[in-house]
Amino acid sequence: MAKIGCVILAAGEGTRMRSEKPKVLSEVLFDPMLEWVLGSVTSCNIKKICVVVGFGHETVKNFLADSGYSYELAVQDHRKGTAHAVLMASNFLEENSIESVLVLNGDSPFMESGTIMEAYGEHLRSENSATIISANLENSSGYGRIVRNSAGRICSVIEEADADEHEKQIKEVNSGAYWFKTKDLLECLSVVPLSACGEYYLTSVIELLLKNNHKVGAFLAQDPVVVLGANNSEQLEVLNKIAKTRVVEKFKNQGIRIPYDEDVIIGRDVEIGEGTTILSDVTLLKKTRIGKNCIIGPGTNIVGISIEDNANIIFRDLSVQKNRVAIG
């Protein structure tokens, strides 16, 4: 297998999140979005990861230092666009002899490992210089559109601001995630034109590759949520609702009884044994383990605790705080 690596773009501010912390540390289901992305990448057995930091980089560095992930850092001192951010990782790509590189946004928490590796397989089979991960959205407003010719080949990626009325009707959108042949990517990064907004964009790399007759393809993700990100607090709330619903539905599909799921919150790293019932007003977080045939709730919060089989816990607050159990 070619030597692969990943560059995660994590330099954005959190101003529109109404938060002072960097955007990638905004939480979805109580985990920073960057945590979700790093988890997906490491699940793909991609060992070489570079995180490009910028605004609030010390805060991001502190999170990464405690995360347990293996990574390298690149700093984008001045925010000049996504292509410029990747350019800051060029030393990482060259020093590690990366042949194929995955570029991801650190604020797209639902880009999961299956989609990443299926896209990589398509990238290799088609011998593409770039493979865009795309998805069909019923409401594609706000996203760059994938424009194809009559043969189905990609002609361009059009940002909504530049799209005409016909192009705005296109449902296939750019997720902002790409696989690149590193050699071709680096050649283009050195000559990316400055946009009208005064920034350098990765979509311009796609245009350069097409102009130079390199092969560019798109892998259409089956689950459209992989393209979703958050630029403001309202979008972040949407991501949280999706994550909450999907985790609860996962457990219900496994046979866990959750009859009043509207006010139940379960973290994505929680384990629940078969035959267990989760009642109303329950929160389970931070690697909590619930045994078999338990009844949890109503009115119960459990954080980082293992509960034995056949337990019946109501109106309790159980959490681990600094390596001790707090019982409220």
pLDDT at position 328, please?
41
Q: How far apart are CA 75 and CA 237, in angstroms?
A: 29
Q: Which domains does the chain have, with CATH numbers?
A: 4-227 (3.90.550.10), 254-327 (2.160.10.10)
pTM given for the model: 0.91
pLDDT at position 326, please?
45
Helix (H, G, I), strand (E, B) or coil at 292: coil
As beta bridge partners, residue 217 has 131
CA count, 13 A, side-chain hemisphere, 288: 23
Q: Which two tokens stand for residue 200?
A: 């350098």
pLDDT at position 15, please?
67
Question: Residue 253 — φ and ψ, nearest 5°?
Answer: -70, -20
Task: Please give the C-alpha separations between residue 232 and each of 12, 140, 262, 302, in angstroms, as whole numbers.
Answer: 12, 17, 24, 30
pLDDT at position 20, please?
78
Task: Please give the C-alpha separations between residue 10 and each of 25, 33, 40, 113, 293, in angstroms, as whole numbers.
Answer: 9, 10, 15, 19, 42
Name residues of the chain where pLDDT drops below 50: 322-328
pLDDT at position 322, please?
42
Q: Is 269 exposed, middle or buried (0-12, 13-18, 19+ CB in 10 A)?
A: middle
